[in-house]
Structure 1
Amino acid sequence: MRTDIGAPDTLWTRWGALATALATLGDDDVYWCDADGAHHDDHGGNWARLVLVKGDRAVLFGYDHEYSDTVSASPPVDLLAGAPAWLPWPELTRHAEDDQLGYVYWYEAGGWSRVPYPDSLHDDGLRATAGAVLDADRARLELGEVVFQWGGHEPADEAAERADVDRAADRLLAAASAGTVDAAVVTGLLGRLRSRPVDPAAGLTAASRAGLTPGAARPVLPPAGGAPPRRVRTLSEDQHDQLVWAAMRQATELPRPAPGDSPELAALVAWVRGRAPAGDGRCALLVQVTDTALRQHPGAAPPARRDGEDQWQPFREAGELVCRLRRVEADPAHGQWLFLRVETTAEGSTVQRCYDSWPSWLPADDHGGPWRSELAPETERRAPAFRPAWSALLAPEVAYGKPGRTAIDDAPR
């Protein structure tokens, strides 16, 4: 799918200009260029790369942990499906397998292309991570921020100074495009700073690495020899969770001894009975619980809130009692239960525990089950004989199918 982005050389010179300006201030690890191409890293988990490839080709790729909706798309989007053989595949596949690849655009035959996105996908993180090089106005603005924000510049007449900085930024961008960056153009932008050290020589070194100074060459990589074998995600995170939950709903409980009576159980039963909404002892508490999360589900007669309590008071009290009971009833081999149902009447009580299955008395919820990250440690510490069959589905590898098959086809049974 063709898309409208500036020519690679234009993006490169803007990238190099930013690298030059920041290196002049000693910040050479935010934008920089080296033998592997152009880099941007905001040190907050967001990054972008531009690689020039022999034959008037290029690839622009990156990731933003907030805006790369491609990573969490369901069904998954394979950003490398049908991509050309000359791309830097080892780096791209490494990021893709780590779920850290938000977009890939490749340039050849005079235009940029990417894989098609579903209509529901609105952002891939490109503008959040590489926006500073996508248009001239944004590049000028970013160079101004190097002066005023990074450099801490506080002139007496800010409006006039900003206009002068814009002109100096344009001169640096023009010199970068022409490959004539020198000390004068760098100093023209940053020599005005007094609040922090300025090192034009460091800036020129960065410009030279980017091929923006007289006689310097831009790093152009040879084309790759072809796409290597790779894993392709065929289940999104949501789909993977739902696969596990569906298996839990079909599972049955493994035989194990029932826990005996305890003060903790008596305290929980008494609390539930005391919270009967009609005051007749009839009450039901339904919870799902792991080491790190607890969720209460509404039953036929859920615990009532008393006058003067905030809406979360019953939940807090129930959670404390449930977790205390769960710790007491934990068994090194058998594990701990994941679901609990306590029903009381004025005369008695019924307690149901589920260690291995999603109980029929708890409504199915495609967005509210125990997450795989919570279930994995729960099942791993049990003795092998007490690990339910669905625990094999918790492995991250389950989300990746083999060629010609889906992840569900290849999932452990």
Structure 2
Amino acid sequence: MGLVTLDLPTPAQLRGRWAAYAAIRAARGRDRTCWADVPVWHYDDSGGNWAEVHHLGAGRAVLIGYDHEHSETYYGPAAEEFGEDETDVLAGAPDWWRPVVERMLAEKEYVGFVYGFDGDGWKRADYSAEDGFRSVGLPALSLEKTRESIISVAREAPGLGGSAPSPAAIEALIAADGDVTEAHVTAVVGAGGWDPAAGAAAARRFLAF
């Protein structure tokens, strides 16, 4: 069975968006929901839904995650636990996908989707079940979603007094592509109350890939 090609941003396209959102979350003091720790980029919604990119070198990456409400693929232990038919999310996949999956299962995580990037594009196994990827709500999937997510968090900043952040400042933060400074973060959240240094540091961790 062949793999299905997906229309998703490349890791290079995801980086600036993911790093920008991580910067605002870290400045807010909630950095455990969005972070980079070589070689992993992590996002979760604090409600049990998550997605990660694992960078494997040589231009390869694996995007893996789970939505506890919408993933209906029931891979591995989940199939037995929930009494559901298993969807083989690794069917037809190259061997280099598997270690990431095994690592997450060893950490007692359910796995709903596994996508591989080989330098040319993202692919997944061919199945019809809903895997939960879209419902996880990864902000970095689009510029629009990234902007909306940053605004949602940043408008709580004391330095903004309840106002929305500057659109130009948000664009500059994303365009920094991980090479974020304290000034970038301050321009978005305002001065006072939050920690732009923590935000910049969180974003810069994405520069490893």
Using the size of structure 2 for normalisation, the TM-score is: 0.84
Q: Which amino acid is the alignment partner of residue 112 of structure 1?
A: W
Amino acid at match of 2:125: V
Matched position secondary structure for 1:62: strand
How much has 1:22 moved relative to structure 2? Answer: 1.0
Match of 1:200 among 176, 191, 196: 196
Match of 1:30 in 2: 33
User: What's the secondary structure of 2:32's corresponding residue?
Assistant: coil
Taking the TM superposition and a 5 Å limit, the aligned residue runs for 1:332-347 are none
**Per-residue Cα deviation, 1:45-101 (whole angstroms, up to 9, x for no partner):** 111101222111211110010011212785310112222222361x41254585710
Structure 2 counterpart of 1:62: 65
Equivalence for 1:93: 102
1:204–1:88 Cα change, 3 Å: farther
* 1:186 aligned partner: 185
Is 1:124 equivalent to 2:120 in the alignment?
Answer: no
Q: CA deviation at 1:132?
A: 0.8
CA gap 1:22/1:99 in 2 versus in 1, 3 angstroms: closer
CA distance in 2, matches of 1:54, 1:5: 19
The answer for the alignment partner of 2:46 in structure 1 is: 43
Over 3 Å counting, the alpha-carbon distance change for 1:112 and 1:147 in structure 2 is: same
The residue identity in structure 1 corresponding to 2:115 is: Y
Q: Structure 1 residues 110 and 68, CA, compared in 2 at 3 Å: closer, same or farther? A: same
Gaps of 5+ in 2: none
CA deviation after TM superposition for structure 1 residue 154, in Å: 4.7
More helix by share: 2
Letter in 2 for 1:22: R
SS at match of 2:176: helix
Distance 1:206 1:170 in 2: 18
Give the SS at the match of 2:86.
Answer: coil
Task: Please state how far the C-alpha of 1:130 moved relative to its aligned partner.
Answer: 4.5
Question: Contact between 2:90 and 2:98, CA under 8 Å: does it hold in 1?
Answer: no
* Residues 155 and 189, structure 2, Cα contact 8 Å, conserved in 1: no
Contact 1:3–1:114 (Cα < 8 Å) also in 2? yes
SS in 2 for 1:204: helix
| 1:162-191 CA distance string (max 9 Å, x none) | 3x5332211100112xx5321211110012
Q: Which has the higher contact order (CA 8 A, sep 6+)?
A: 2
Matched, 1:137 2:133: no
Residue 79 (1) aligns with residue 89 (2): yes
Q: Does the residue aligned with 1:87 lie in a helix, a strand or coil? A: helix
Indicate how the Cα distance of structure 1 residues 65 and 187 shifts in structure 2: closer, same or farther if over 3 A, else same: same
Paired with 2:202 and 2:112, the residues of 1 have a C-alpha distance of 27
- Give the match's secondary structure for 2:110: coil
For 1:82, the aligned partner's letter is G
Kept in 2, the 8 Å contact 1:172–1:186? The answer is yes
% identical aligned pairs? 37
For 1:53 and 1:202, locate their aligned partners in 2 and report how far apart those are by CA, in whole Å: 27
Larger Rg: 1
Q: How many residues align?
A: 197
Indicate if the aligned counterparts of 1:144 and 1:165 stay in contact, CA closer than 8 A. no
